[in-house]
Amino acid sequence: MREVTVIAYGAGNVASVQFALERLGARVRLTDEASVVAQAERLILPGVGAAAYAMSRLRALGLVEAIHAFQRPLLGVCLGQQLLFERSEEGAGDDLLGFIPGVVTRLEPGPALPVPHMGWSRLERVRDDPLLEGVGPRDYAYFVHGYVCPDGPATLARADYGGTVPAVVRKGNRWGCQFHPERSARTGAQILRNFIELPETAAC
């Protein structure tokens, strides 16, 4: 049975992620300890709310250094994807984990669409990746977000919400999903299953 460690740092919807992984047969370990993160087979960084608060929690728990040192598969979910980038315009313009170049900006889809983006959007694959194995052109995912990551070389899949939303990103052993795979029915379950099955040495 594959084990997935979920970072429980007070800024993520940990329970729903845990239940989704357990339904797929994974053994789930919740932690806020750097020593446990260092030994994890694969790691999920969930996140909801403000980027500044999430980063303050990671710093207070001594987890930033452990996440930077982690060389096995890591998946950021929702705010967790945004934290993979360099900086966010939210609040005072906070520094994030800095794995992927670019600035997270406020979602501005135009007057016809509300912010935050809450609902189902279709995923458009940009390039193939093991995380997206079995995800087709008619598959939808469930989004809840008011900020958006920059589109660029790291983008694996996009959604449209009055403009481009990088829905899945990757750099090396670090992936991100802007949507909530744990709330995205069959498509989300497929993505989580793919993550569970990634080899520990996965990187590009």
Q: Which domains does the chain have, with CATH numbers?
A: 3-197 (3.40.50.880)
Amino acid at residue number 97: L
Tens digit of each residue's pLDDT (9 = 90 or more) over 23-52: 999 999 999 999 999 999 999 999 999 999
For 86-146, what is the HEC assignment?
Answer: EEECCCCCEECCCCEEEEEEECCCCCCCCCCEEEEEECEECCCCHHHCCCCCCCEEEEEEC
Taking a C-beta distance cutoff of 8 angstroms, is the pair 55, 86 a contact?
no
Residue 162 CB partners (closer than 8 Å, separation 6+) = 108, 109, 110, 112, 113
Q: Which letter does DSSP use for residue 21 in this model?
A: H
**Cα-based distances in Å from 129 to 79, 132, 153, 170:** 21, 5, 13, 9
Mean of the per-residue pLDDT values of the chain:
96
pLDDT surpassing 80 at residue 202: no
Catalytic site residues? 78, 180, 182
Tens digit of each residue's pLDDT (9 = 90 or more) over 78-103: 999 999 999 999 887 789 999 999 99
pLDDT surpassing 70 at residue 13: yes
